[in-house]
Chains A and B, each alone.
Chain A
């Protein structure tokens, strides 16, 4: 209890100059997080360099809550690569494996078909109605790295927003009350 009392005490004794300093340091944390994210976007060439696996369609390789690191280079897409793609009319991107590739002779355009390792059939049912193939513009990146479990943090926060607010509140309080 002494810790909480101390915190309240320190909030009461805040002065305008101190408030400003805390505000600046809070801003520094937020902006540096943003800088890291944007820098990752530049390095990997993908609009979302890190994705969380949300479904079990790639089990047992990737489970729900695992994190994938994406990379989007100019290299052509080949069978066997795990790609993250957006389908028109669907908000959530899908992480599946490429099983067929057809690359045009004249234009160099690719048409690919994907499938989840754990799914019975290919992804044509998930694509937009009447769409048979994915094109380059649907693909956001290919998975190059893997980290288990870490994505649970974001899954819990999006599914139980209360926890998110509690966490943000607690962190904010910590920043305000911390004495350097």
Chain B
């Protein structure tokens, strides 16, 4: 009855149960946090805007991104993955989301920042309907936990417009 194997088994089962319980509680505690992130994105310059040889529009932007995401961090947060995407509608596509820039924020002290950058990924349309196009810029964040459930959300900023002509 109280053999070595029996005791080892009981101990292991108990340890794993407690660990699983702690992970669950840690993940659930994320729900107690009510974050209040803020962000502004400004388009400083349209570097160039042209039609590629095979017909897709491509534009290069310079952005100024200011954000305060400190309130997203909890004790269960490993890192924050953030990215800025352009979102717009065209006659061909009901929704286009094109990621322009992204970053990993490893700790709370880096979560309040202001950065001046041109788009890291190419802003290419599927087609050639970017001229004079109104679009939204959205700052998305993805909270990657030490363990448990992942959270994601975004701030949508609207009212941006591309020029009427290629340049």
Query: Which residues does A use to contact B, with CB under 8 Å?
Result: 3, 6, 60-62, 78-82, 97, 99-105, 108, 111, 117, 122, 143-148, 174
CA distance A6 to B149 in the complex (A): 46
Residues of B within 8 A of A79 (CB): 83, 85, 97-99, 140
In the bound complex, residues from chain B placing their C-beta under 8 Å from that of A81 are 152
Contacts of A78 in B (CB 8 A): 97
Nearest to A79 among chain B residues (CB) is B97
Contact of A117 among B91, B96, B104, B106 (CB under 8 A): B104
Interface positions, chain B 16-49, Cβ under 8 Å from A, are 23, 27
**With contacts A60-B79, A61-B81, A80-B85 known, is A3 near B3, CB below 8 A?**
yes
B150 contacts chain A at the CB level, 8 A cutoff: yes
Q: Residues of B within 8 Å of A, CB-based: how many?
A: 36
Contact, CB under 8 Å: A3 / B4: yes
CA distance A111 to B126 in the complex (A): 10
Interface residues of B (CB under 8 A from A): 3-5, 23, 27, 78-79, 81, 83, 85, 90-99, 102, 104, 106, 121, 126, 140, 142, 144-150, 152, 154
Apart from A60-B78, A100-B121, A146-B144, list 8 A-B contacts with CB within 8 A.
A62-B144, A100-B97, A101-B96, A101-B97, A102-B93, A104-B92, A117-B81, A146-B150
* Given A3-B3, A80-B83: A103 touches B93 (CB 8 Å cut-off): yes
- List of A residues within 8 angstroms of B90 by Cβ: 105
Which listed residue, B94, B145, B150, touches A103 by the CB 8 Å rule? B94
- A105 to B95: give the CA distance in the assembly, Å: 8
Closest-by-CB residue of A relative to B149 is A145
Contact status A143-B150, CB under 8 Å: yes
CB pair B92–A99 under 8 Å, yes or no, is: no
Query: Is B79 in contact with A146, judged by CB distance below 8 angstroms?
Result: no
- In contact, B4 and A146 (Cβ under 8 angstroms): no
**CB nearest to B87 among chain A residues:** A79
* Contact status B149-A104, CB under 8 Å: no
Listed A/B pairs (23) with beta-carbon separation below 8 Å:
A60-B78, A60-B104, A79-B83, A80-B85, A80-B152, A82-B150, A97-B81, A99-B99, A100-B97, A100-B99, A102-B96, A102-B126, A103-B93, A104-B93, A104-B94, A105-B93, A108-B94, A111-B126, A117-B81, A144-B149, A146-B144, A146-B149, A147-B148
Q: Which residue of A lies closest to B152 (CB)?
A: A80
Give me the 6 closest cross-chain CB pairs, A-B, nearest first. Answer: A79-B97, A99-B99, A101-B97, A103-B95, A80-B140, A61-B144
Q: Which residues of chain A are within 8 angstroms of B95 by Cβ–Cβ distance?
A: 101-103
Bound form: Cα–Cα A101–B3 in Å: 59
**Which residues of B are found within 8 Å of A6, using beta-carbon distances?**
3
B35 to A: closest C-beta gap in Å? 17
On whether the beta carbons of B150 and A105 are closer than 8 Å, the reply is no
Partner of B121, one of A3, A62, A99, A147: A99
Complex Cα–Cα for A148 and B145 (A): 10
